[in-house]
Amino acid sequence: MPSLLNDAVKLPCGLVFPNRLSKAAMAENLATSDSNPNENFNLAYNRWSDGGWGMIMTGNVQVDVDHLGNFKDPAVQTDYETKSSKLWKAYAAASQKHGSPTIVQLAHPGRQSLRGAGRRGLFAPTIAPSAIPLTIGNNFLDSVITSLAFPRPREMTQKDINTVIRLFVDSARFIAESGFSGIELHAAHGYLLDQFINPKTNLRTDVYGGSAENRARLLLDILKGCREAVPATFCIGVKLNSADHSAANLEDTMTQIRLLVDAGIDFLEVSGGTYENPRMVDGDKPAISQTKSARTAAREAFFLDFAKETRKRFPNLVLMLTGGFRSRAGAEAAIKENACDLVGIARPAAVNPRFAALLLDEGTRDEDAQISLDKVRPGWLPKLLRSQILGAGAESTYYADQIHRLAKGRATAVPGH
């Protein structure tokens, strides 16, 4: 009997994903000094295109070349040079060569932009809804490293906000013209749009701060502008955090989701974490419930409650859950429980670009339709210094290295092997 993961999913815009499995976003760290995609992108994404995925999500594509999250992030160039346009069209063609629609994750890092990443200058500040610096780790060394790595942000003016809206809209138009199937507005993981949504990082007293509706205003303004700039059949999704939301502000979050639904999003991806609390790059948790701490169990229970509550209130919203899926059984369980319509899978796709095909293959037994990934351990120095920030990038770096190997046609490996 075919797995229900084989079911097609049709979005409100009319785009159809041929199955429920999505290669989720991962940082590729492949862009050249001009922040354009290159042949390495094409080679890696061609491998995923041939992997049986119902949808492929790119890593972060920054909308502002002056503000990159990492030094090798790709970014849309607002001058739309002929050379740049050709490179992006080649990227779109490679990623969709075998029929998997590809969605570009558009982002602005805000205060989570490394010093020197982008063209703003080494000593220029980052931008954020409020001038609240990052706090990573809880010791003196982490504090010093954070202040050196991430400039203190300045509070955005109305002119800055207008510029960011224009950059997102221009980028959406360019991505559509390049031949991709859609975009996802990245409003999670502590990036700029999430900084506006979150009351902890948005202390503004103007129309972009205060109430849940006001904090969502920038995202909604961008969504409206993008929808007007692209064809009706072009997909626009949104990525939101879930694990960061407590019961105390659940109603604010549901209010913001309702605004997005009313604005006509095609799907909502639920994820979690920020640079300060990087749940999206944590290692796998133990599979046996008895070994889990009470805190971990409570957080996971709330995640399920969040998904079920979202489904209850917005039954027609196409919902994508990302994080921790390692098996056919796990992915099927999420669908059967009506927690989501789409299953986002990241790290397994970096070590096996055909992981989706494996899960969808009726000839593969359930016990073989899975992968085990050990946690990537930081080196001895972060442990010795008890530094969170020095060890935080171990997971992302490891899987970016696997993507580099995909691009070069080399064998990949799971951690610890």
Q: Is residue 287 part of a domain?
A: yes
Q: Is residue 68 part of a domain?
A: yes
Summary mean pLDDT of the chain:
88
How many whole angstroms separate alpha carbon 343 and alpha carbon 381? 36
- The answer, yes or no, to whether residue 174 has pLDDT greater than 60, is yes
Q: Is residue 414 part of a domain?
A: no
Contacts of 293 by beta carbon, 8 Å cutoff, 6+ apart:
none
Q: What's 303's domain CATH number?
A: 3.20.20.70
pLDDT at 50: 97
Q: Is residue 412 part of a domain?
A: no
Q: Which of 77, 82, 57 is nearest to 65 (CA)?
A: 77
pTM of the model as a whole: 0.91
Domain ranges, residue 225: 4-407
Q: Is residue 416 part of a domain?
A: no
C-alpha 335, offset from chain centre? 21
Tens of pLDDT along 276-333?
454 444 433 433 233 444 444 444 444 667 778 899 999 999 999 988 889 999 999 8
Q: Is residue 360 part of a domain?
A: yes
Of 16-20, 98-102, 287-291, the one with minimum mean pLDDT is 287-291
Tens of pLDDT along 347-386?
999 999 999 999 999 999 999 999 998 888 776 666 655 6
The larger pLDDT score, comparing residue 108 to residue 288, is at: 108
Q: Is residue 415 part of a domain?
A: no
How many whole angstroms separate alpha carbon 265 and alpha carbon 276? 28
- The percentage of the chain sitting over the pLDDT mark of 70, rounded to a whole number, equals 85
Of 51-65, 195-209, 218-232, 276-290, the one with minimum mean pLDDT is 276-290
Say if CB 408 and CB 34 are below 8 A apart.
no
Q: Is residue 171 part of a domain?
A: yes
The torsion angles phi and psi of 282, rounded to 5 degrees, stand at: -65, 155
The structural domain count of the chain equals 1
